[in-house]
Amino acid sequence: MKKHKKKAFLVLEDGRVFAGESFGAEGTVIGEICFNTSMTGYQEILTDPSYRGQIVCLTYPEIGNYGLCPFDHQSRDIQVAGLIIRSLSPIPSSWRAFCSLPEFLKQKGVIGIQGVDTRRLTLHIREAGVLRAVLTTEDMERTEAVALTQNWDYSKVDFIAQVTTPVPYRWDEIEALKPIIEEMKGADGWDAHKKELIEKWNQRLTRLAPPIYRLAVMDFGVKFSTLRYLRRKGFDLHVFPAYASAKRILESDPDAIFLSNGPGDPAFFERLHAEIKPLLGARPVFGICLGHQLIAIALGARTFKLRFGHRGANHPVKNLFDSTIKITSQNHGYAVCAESIPDCLKISEINLNDGTIEGMVHKTKPIFSVQYHPEAAPGPHDALGYFEVFFNKVRASKIYQVG
């Protein structure tokens, strides 16, 4: 007998309805609808804190074919509000898989919908711009769903408070992934192959060279891959809650400061603007994504909301200093307004698709930032060199202090 598949519905705030079949959890969720054009990396997308409050449509047609592996998590939990795909591969075929996509979503209480014409949905978002939406497996009138979207405003929610660490901690990759690995253990325990994968992962991490410089990380929704690359580059990572004061951070005596990615409208976080400003110039500072936007605002610039955001692993960025071009991984719905850039900053990179700002450097202080995700999870590794650039800036500042 054919198993009955439960229906699910996506209702946009303009009344457009997309029907499909549910997988994962059941219920109703409200979020901002967005799309990502990456061909791989659905696990990294699901666990990226920058997606908090968003229902994500993946444009690649087949999702789930390689399952999930704990080493690819970007945070402790799923962060997306819901997932929309064209076609589900319920049985993973990868040798790295610990569980399937439907199992993972169900365990985490996240609704998935398959069978949606994701091409039509994406084209509609591109034409209409950013939209709020309801994803539900429950019986609900379209007018009721539309009304729910009208009472919810993405730009007025403190998503950073939902994803930041509640207490300071020192990054240790083994400790960070232990609970994730245990969650994926399942009823059947570990087979010999999975035990071997975990053992090799542990051995690789224990061979890391001792860190050199103490780095204060402001966690607005930092990704594990970002912390992983910073640690491998030679930083001793001390991660602080997003709303830690500038005084508290500077009292920890860091050699440098890193401002992470994260969710939400950068203009909304006025408390952060005030705390970040005293940090700029007190130590070398590197910011990415939301951190990039917050640096700009703290120095007097403005941000604006993009029509449908930049989310994918194929965004071309041009360096205005040497004319090189990188293909980058991006996930943001806001950008820095070029006309508002203060005199102390210089635009270093632009997006070749729409000309928006992708990088900035301070003219006199060791401060720089990029709008995209240099750790590329998922995505190309063209921009990984920025972690080396940051390390060298910190080393240069320490040499200057000694001299």
**Residues designated catalytic:** 289, 373, 375
Helix (H, G, I), strand (E, B) or coil at 211: coil
Report the alpha-carbon distance of residue 28 to residue 307 in Å, rounded.
26
DSSP symbols for 240-296? EETT--HHHHHHT--SEEEE----S-GGG-HHHHHHHGGGBTTB-EEEETHHHHHHH
**CA–CA dist 348, 244 (Å, integer):** 29
Instruction: Please state, in angstroms and rounded to a whole number, the distance separating the CA atoms of residues 370 and 29.
Output: 32
Q: Amino acid letter at 393?
A: K
What is the Cα–Cα distance from 266 to 55, expressed in whole angstroms?
19
Q: Which two tokens stand for residue 228?
A: 């992983």
d(C-alpha 367, C-alpha 360), whole Å: 8
Q: Enter the tokens of residue 316.
A: 């071309």
Within 8 A by CB and 6+ apart from 382, the residues are 326, 327, 328, 376
